[in-house]
Amino acid sequence: MYGINWSVHPLFVLVMLASIATGYFVELITLFAIVLVHEIGHVLAAKGFGWTVHEVKLLPFGGVAEVEEGANLPAREDAIVAIAGPLQNVWMGALAWAFGETGLWNQEWSLYVMHANIMIGLFNLLPILPLDGGKLLQAALSRMMPHRQTLVWMGRISLVLSCMMIIFAVIPAFHEPGGGIQANLLAVGLFLLLTNWTAYRHIPFLFIRFLTHRADVSSRSMALGGWALPIVVSKRHSIASALRLFRRDSYHLIVVMEEPGNIVAVLPEQQLVNGYLAEGKADRAVLELFM
């Protein structure tokens, strides 16, 4: 579909098997359809911006898309694509309510479909990666702080909230008479915790990927024209410390200054990135790039 490889995540397979075993097959098909339409909303929005989407893995609460351009896509586009999924749940929930009010569906089934859309839509708006709410928060943070700092903070926020979800899932087993663990919520919480722990450990690699695609940002900035955001460093600043100041949507000029305030050189960001990627010596001083 749309030239994209669609697959079902093992977590969704477990939910399917549990639903079949407990006799909720129709509800399972309905859930699958809601999740599929939710994810198609993301894909259509992404395709509208010309993104290259390679694969979509469907999960019980939505899906995870593999996008070629990654973190160098404009934050505005990322936010629009993220919100496009929950918006599908809005019209599907409203349609289910309308069908119930007009008698096309019985009230019980109408309420079930409406509540399923509300739950999936709201759950996806939680500020945890890779949920839509996490992507929205990440897009907002990227407008206020450097990209590497955004990765670190989003990793921390996602890990804390994932742990809170796990705690919330097991609390009924200890505080409610006859209460049990909320297995579905626990499984999703563990999945999000593992996903974000892996991503947090891989922040250095994610940052390098961000740098390798900076040429796209440069080309986009030159094609559209606009302001460059200067980064002021001393000539003894390391390349790594300067690169960590790069912002997602900005094109940078690196202003190298001596201690009294005299400008030694103005470097385009590509020179800094290429100097780092070509030799990988992040601790070199910026001064070495023009010696």
Q: Which of 80, 93, 75 is nearest to 42 (CA)?
A: 80
* pLDDT 10s digits, 94-128: 999 999 888 888 888 899 999 999 999 999 999 99
DSSP codes, 67-82: ESSGGGS-HHHHHHHH
CA distances from 115 to 12, 90, 184, 227, 284 (A): 19, 11, 17, 47, 57
Q: For position 18, what pLDDT does the model report? A: 62
For the whole model, what pTM was predicted? 0.85
Burial of 155 (0-12, 13-18, 19+ CB in 10 A): buried
Q: How much is the pLDDT for 280?
A: 63
10 Å Cβ neighbour count for 194? 11
The domains located in the chain, with CATH, are 5-163 (no CATH), 213-290 (3.10.580.10)
**In Å, what is the CA distance from 289 to each residue of 6, 17, 122, 246?**
45, 59, 49, 17
* pLDDT (tens digit per residue) in 255-269: 888 776 788 888 888
Q: What is the pLDDT of residue 262?
A: 80
Model pLDDT, residue 54: 80
Write the burial class of residue 73 (CB in 10 Å: 0-12 exposed, 13-18 middle, 19+ buried).
buried
Task: Give the pLDDT of residue 22.
Answer: 60
Those residues with Cβ within 8 angstroms of residue 251's Cβ, 6 or more apart along the chain or in another chain:
217, 218, 221, 226, 228, 229, 269
pLDDT value at residue 145? 92
Q: Which of the residues in the chain have pLDDT under 70? A: 1-3, 9, 11-25, 61, 68-71, 173, 175-180, 216-226, 260, 279-283, 286-291
